[in-house]
Amino acid sequence: MRLTATVNGRARTFEVEARSTLLEVIRESLLLTGAKEACGVGECGNCMVLLDGEPTPSCLVLAPDAEGREIVTVEGLAPEGALDEVQAAFLEAGAFQCGFCTPGMVITAGALLRDQPNAAAGEIKQALAGVLCRCGSYTKVMKAMEKLAGRGA
Amino acid sequence: MTTTVGRSVTRIDGRDKVTGAAVFGVDLAVAGMLHGAVVRSPHPHARIVSIDPAAAAAAPGVEVIVTGADFPYLFGSATRDQPFLAIDRVRYVGEPVVAIAARTEAEAQEAADLVVVEYEELPAVCDMRDALAEDAPLVHPDMHTYVKGAHVIVPHTNINTLWTFERGDVEAGFAGADLIVEDEFTAHALSHAALEPHVSIAAYDPVNRAYTLWLPTDRPFQVRGELTAALGIPSDKVRLIVTSVGGSFGGKNTLISEAISVALARFAGGRPVRVEFTRQEDLTATSTRVPAIMKLRTGVTRDGSITARSAEALWDSGAYTSNTVGVAIRGSSTIFGPYRTPHLSLVVRQVYTNRATTGSYRGYGTTQVTWACESQMDMIAAALGLDPLAFRLRNGYEEGDPYINEQIMHGVGLRESLERTAAEIGWGEVDRAPAPHLRRGKGIATMLKPTATPTSSNAVIKVEEDGRVTVLVAAPEIGAGQSTVLAQIAADAIGVPIEAVVVPGTDTAYTPYNGPVASSRTTFHVGNAIVMAGAEIREKILAAAADILDRDAGRLDLVDGRIVEDGVPIKPLSELFGGLAYGDGYSITAEARYSSKGSPLLKAAAPYEWMSSIFWMFATHAAEIEVDIETGAVRVVKVAAAGDVGRAINPMACEQQIEGGVVMGISNALFEEFKGSGGRIDNGSFADYKLAALPDIPEIVAIIVESQHAEAPFGAKGIGEPAAAATPPAIANALFDAVGIRILDLPITPEKVLRAIAEKASAEGAG
């Protein structure tokens, strides 16, 4: 079936199978491989994208349900060659190790700060609780987030 | 001169990581590729009576079906005991039996469900203690016929590794003790749980009869060696191209998804085959930490000097040995901890069981033995009425002390790591719990870790026409910042800015040999090779500059990417070769090899020089915890964690390893546990196999100890492997401080804590 959606600011129309997930479409049809599948059942947060602005695990969304909606992936956060504020802060703080979960982390973190620019530490921890990082980069993630939220160095 | 070494340079792989541009194994698609799926054993031990693939073969999209009979090879780095696909019998629940390649992943999975396999169940042995029984079912009745390394096996039993070690006179040592304690500790199986699941793409070129693999791995040359040895083909017939690695932790270093993709590719007529395991497969049927049961006996004098220690360690390799032999032997050898022990003895056994294969896991056996050693150190201190920190300091290794094989140890930052973590956690100060049902406590634990010795690394450095420097080393970026640290070393060794250095991914067709990215050996070994090749290429650049610029080479220098004459910059390296006609072109390369083999630093008592380590790493963690005596829940409040890295090439990258190690240690100690019975793992999802998440993370203070090392590149040793081991015993010791209970078997669950609190209360009531 045909799916029309806005992806990273561009209207896109493409063929999808009715049983495909949004994550499969993003990765396999659009070749945007930033969002990752680490569990496939909404337990790890590594596949987060913004769906109409809301951070959403794209492995839990059936592709047809994305019809007419606006999707932003990690690739769409900043123009090619540039970084958004969250990406820049993560890079500077070293808030990643292997980098596999980082797209899910920056997508979720950006949405939080958009809604709560001065989010408290507890709010940051709750917002990012669903994004698993086996390398344990959490301490540096908090450092980056504290700075973005207007605290710390 | 150093300009980048010692600075927290932004990681050179960072931009690709935060933008999602990095290409991991799962991100790669090769034109024309098929997709694989696996039919797995439902039984822990059974004979395969028949396999009927007819329905699967007729299913839509199916192109290739392979069984063990079609691809009857065995692999294994220590003992060649593991089939690519089960041959005649299955030995664990989840063992691959049939592999299928189809046009789509869904078609392959659906076809896999149609394969009919008939089994005749055999008696299984799913517990490592049971595996030692005289009448235990044999997991490998033909073990004695396998190709294997030098380790000792016991034929016609399940014991696939036996090692004993003795120094001094252990009975005399115990006779001289005022107190002897003996305890048994258990360290459980853990999933590596790298967020990137096991994945690989393999292609077989029928013309050259050669395989190409695209994969995330931390041991490219060793995986190639395992494959060529198993298939009986030369090294040029296997090429490995390594992607970014989405976490390994010791898990991505042998043939796992690769066994399936290679077997399928062999029959796919040249089409590449991609195999990605689901999270359920990844958790239940790949590899885990080697579980261990450790009996530890220690004699001490009244004033707290260790007189003797003896240990018996039992390890469970699961159904195949994989890389567990080294884990069991090398891991066990450090069970005595970083303490002077005049008399000691050790018996190590590892058994096969009908459980999923186990293997190396961050720390290579030290996470298990540190649990035993450091729990018992506190139990002894309590029995003697000594401060646990003072007891450790009294017995701990100092610079120049002999190790248990009499190697003289250099670069020993143990004392500093103990003192600084203790100061940071507020050792001896009592923190009041914020509510009546909560109790607080502090604990400390330390450890030492050798690096694999001897091993070697090679580096080829190439200067391009525009002055860019390409460093060819087989050191995949597994997330620990290897590429950045090596680029820093190259930049300073050569005299160019780090921005001019590129460290390409590993391709065994072009990259020179390296030992594994494991054992925290990369910075030291690859770094040393780069320092040597860097010095050589620097000389070649200056000779070329003298030639091109018609100057006296003796007066030239290379500083921060500029050719300098008597201190005055005269030409940027980026412009040195530009504008020359082809006939005048320069190709500048240098190569070097570093091996720790034969280093005088390794001298030890014969025949135990193999136990020497070219450098020793020390790590100490001090934890403050809060325990809820109504629920048994343990919350970690703060961890101060010190790593003796020799010298921090990149302090930020060292902090990442230390902080990440603590997170892993907390997760291992409090949350992670496989559930199931009869060799079956039932919790194959992150909902049921819990990993630490952000709300679980305490304040973590990373402390970098720099003990320096004379043979190291800029003094640097290693950091990643020892980073997780000390956290679980530090938490257990803090739990004892808080409520006076001891958990000897990991993990520390609320149920065990509540039970222990109740038992203590009833014992005190009875007393």
Asked if the structure places residue B206 within a domain, the reply is yes
pLDDT at B582: 61
Q: Is B26 on the interface with A (CB under 8 A)?
A: yes
Of B189, B701, B280, B667, the C-alpha closest to A134 is B667
Q: What's the token pair of residue B536?
A: 């050589």
Q: CB–CB of A137 and B697 under 8 A?
A: no
- Residues in chain A with CB shorter than 8 Å from the CB of B19 are 34, 74-75, 77-78, 83, 87
pLDDT tens-digit profile of B87-140? 999 999 999 999 999 999 999 999 999 999 999 999 999 999 999 999 999 999
Q: How many whole angstroms separate alpha carbon B524 and alpha carbon B615?
A: 9
Mean pLDDT of B393-411: 97
Check if the beta carbon of residue A22 is closer than 8 Å to that of residue A52.
Answer: no
Dihedrals phi, psi of A11, to nearest 5 degrees:
-70, 130
Q: What is the DSSP string of B152-198?
A: B--TTSSEEEEEEEEES-HHHHHHT-SEEEEEEEEE---B---SSPP
pLDDT at B585: 74
pLDDT tens-digit profile of B544-576? 999 999 999 999 999 999 999 999 999 999 999
Q: CB–CB of B685 and A39 under 8 A?
A: yes
Pure H helices in B403-481: 414-425
- Structural domain of residue B77, as residue ranges? 25-122+194-248+252-285
CATH fold, domain A85-148, is DNA polymerase; domain 1 (1.10.150)
Counted domains in chain B: 4
Q: Are B576 and B663 in the same domain?
A: no
CA-to-CA dists, residue B462 to B269, B518, B557, angstroms: 37, 26, 18
Q: CB–CB of B20 and A34 under 8 A?
A: yes
Q: How many whole angstroms separate alpha carbon B279 and alpha carbon B191?
A: 11
Q: Are B129 and B98 in the same domain?
A: no
Q: Are B232 and B95 in the same domain?
A: yes
* Vertex B79: Cα angle to B76 and B81 (nearest 5): 70
| Spatial CB neighbours of B507, under 8 Å, sequence gap ≥ 6 | B239, B240, B241, B242
Query: What's the pTM?
Result: 0.98
Q: Is B239 on the interface with A (CB under 8 A)?
A: no
Amino acid sitting at position B736: F
Of B351, B324, B286, B284, the C-alpha closest to B137 is B351
Q: Which of B1-5, B391-395, B459-463 shows the lowest per-residue confidence on average (mean pLDDT)? A: B1-5
Q: At residue B1, does pLDDT exceed 60?
A: no
Q: Are B423 and B567 in the same domain?
A: no
Place of tokens 């190639």: B224
Asked if the structure places residue B605 within a domain, the reply is no
Residue B596: left (phi > 0), alpha (psi -120 to 50), or beta?
A: alpha
- What's the pLDDT band for B154 if we cut at 50, 70, 90? very high
User: pLDDT averaged over chain B?
Assistant: 97
pLDDT at B480: 97
Q: At residue B625, does pLDDT exceed 80?
A: yes
pLDDT at B765: 85
Q: Of B595, B630, B654, at which residue does a domain stop?
A: B595
- What's the pLDDT band for B581 if we cut at 50, 70, 90? low
* Vertex B668: Cα angle to B666 and B671 (nearest 5): 85
- What's the pLDDT band for B279 if we cut at 50, 70, 90? very high
Chain A segment 24-53 residues within 8 A of B by beta carbon are 27-28, 31-41, 43-44, 46
- Residues in chain B with CB shorter than 8 Å from the CB of A46 are 195
Mean pLDDT of B615-643: 98
Q: Are B445 and B524 in the same domain?
A: no
Mean pLDDT of A77-85: 96
The class that CATH gives domain A2-76 is alpha beta
What torsion do the CA atoms of B566, B572, B573, B574 make, to the nearest 10 degrees? Answer: 180
- What's the pLDDT band for B663 if we cut at 50, 70, 90? very high
Q: What is the DSSP string of B279-327?
A: HHHHHHHS-EEPPEEEEEEEEE-TTS-EEEEEEEEEEEEETS-TTHHHH
Q: What is the ipTM of this complex?
A: 0.98
Question: Which residues are paired to B90 by β-bridges?
Answer: B46
Of B652, B690, B722, B132, the C-alpha closest to B417 is B722
Asked if the structure places residue B431 within a domain, the reply is yes
- List Cβ<8 Å contacts ≥24 apart for B393-397: B393/B418, B393/B419, B394/B304, B394/B305, B395/B304, B395/B305, B395/B306, B395/B339, B395/B340, B395/B341, B396/B338, B396/B339, B396/B340, B396/B446, B397/B338, B397/B339, B397/B340, B397/B448, B397/B618
Q: At residue B339, does pLDDT exceed 60?
A: yes
For residue B34, what is the domain's CATH number?
A: 3.90.1170.50
For residue B353, what is the domain's CATH number?
A: 3.30.365.10
Domain locations in chain A as residue ranges: 2-76, 85-148
A149: distance to nearest CA of chain B, Å? 17
Q: Is A121 on the interface with B (CB under 8 A)?
A: no
